[in-house]
Amino acid sequence: MKTAAIIAVAGLASAAAAQSATVSLTHNDGDSTINVGETVTWTLSVAFTGGEVVSGVNMAVNGNNALGTSSDMTYTGTNGGNNGGTSNGAGIGFVNLTNSLFIEAFQGILADRANPLVIGTFDFTAGAEGVLTYSVDKGQSSSAFVSVAQSAFAETLFANPADVQISVQSLTIVPTPASAALLGLGGLVATRRRR
């Protein structure tokens, strides 16, 4: 009997080790370079293994506010609702989403089983030159950073950002072509005056 119990515990440990989550923040600009004044759309998503759905997230997306501004986050449809995700300069404050198998089982409202699950999108408009990098951090509440549910009554909690893989693209912001041409003409004028 003890052997069977040890095998069962070992099986649970290997199943738990197979569970993982990856948070991605990507943009829709192919070469990762935009001009001042241009706008790109960013997408926040979570991919996972070892579960049925991403059942919850508790995040904040932080960026360099000196480089531009973002819109509020637009969410995908989930059965438990979401809140927060309002613009915070270049970033997005407190993203909180619920996508519950419990609600699905007892209220009949289907959970979104997409993998990866798109948490939401937001637009960023460049205001100055530089390299925009974001960090995806834990949000304001005490709930887990990412939760992945296996059933209505079982879920894996990834408590902190260090418990998951995080992949974030960067974006280089350059002057508008007209601004660069004016700078070049200014250099020519300055050179001619010296002669």
User: Model confidence over 147-156: pLDDT tens digits?
Assistant: 999 999 999 9
Q: How many CA atoms lie within 13 A of 29 on its CB side?
A: 20
In this model, does residue 84 exceed pLDDT 90? no
The encoded tokens of residue 30 equal: 């192919």
The helix (run of H) or strand (run of E) holding residue 70 is strand 68-70
pLDDT digits (tens, 9 = 90+) for 22-69: 999 999 999 999 999 999 999 999 999 999 999 999 999 999 999 999
* Residue 63 Cα distances to 28, 58, 80, angstroms: 17, 17, 28
Q: Which residues contact 100 (CB under 8 A, 6 or more apart)?
A: 55, 56, 79, 80, 111, 149, 152
- 21-194 CATH choice from 3.60.150.10, 3.60.20.30, 2.60.40.680, 3.40.605.10: 2.60.40.680
DSSP assignment letter at 153:
T
What does the radius of gyration of the chain's CA atoms come to, in whole angstroms?
22
In this prediction, residue 144 carries a pLDDT of: 96
The encoded tokens of residue 179 equal: 């601004």
How sure is the predictor about 8, in pLDDT bands with cuts at 50, 70 and 90?
very low
In this prediction, residue 140 carries a pLDDT of: 87
User: Domain limits of the chain?
Assistant: 21-194
Give the sign of the dihedral formed by CA 157, CA 162, CA 165, CA 169: positive
To the nearest whole percent, how much of the chain has pLDDT over 70? 82
Distance CA 91, CA 133 (A): 10
The helix (run of H) or strand (run of E) holding residue 190 is helix 177-194
Distance CA 164, CA 121 (A): 20
In this prediction, residue 12 carries a pLDDT of: 42
The structure's pTM equals: 0.83
In this prediction, residue 188 carries a pLDDT of: 52
Residue with more model confidence, 181 or 143? 143
Counting beta carbons within 10 angstroms of the beta carbon of residue 115, is it exposed (0 to 12), middle (13 to 18) or buried (19 or more)? middle
Mean pLDDT of 157-181: 88
Are 124 and 69 in contact by the 8 Å Cβ rule? The answer is yes
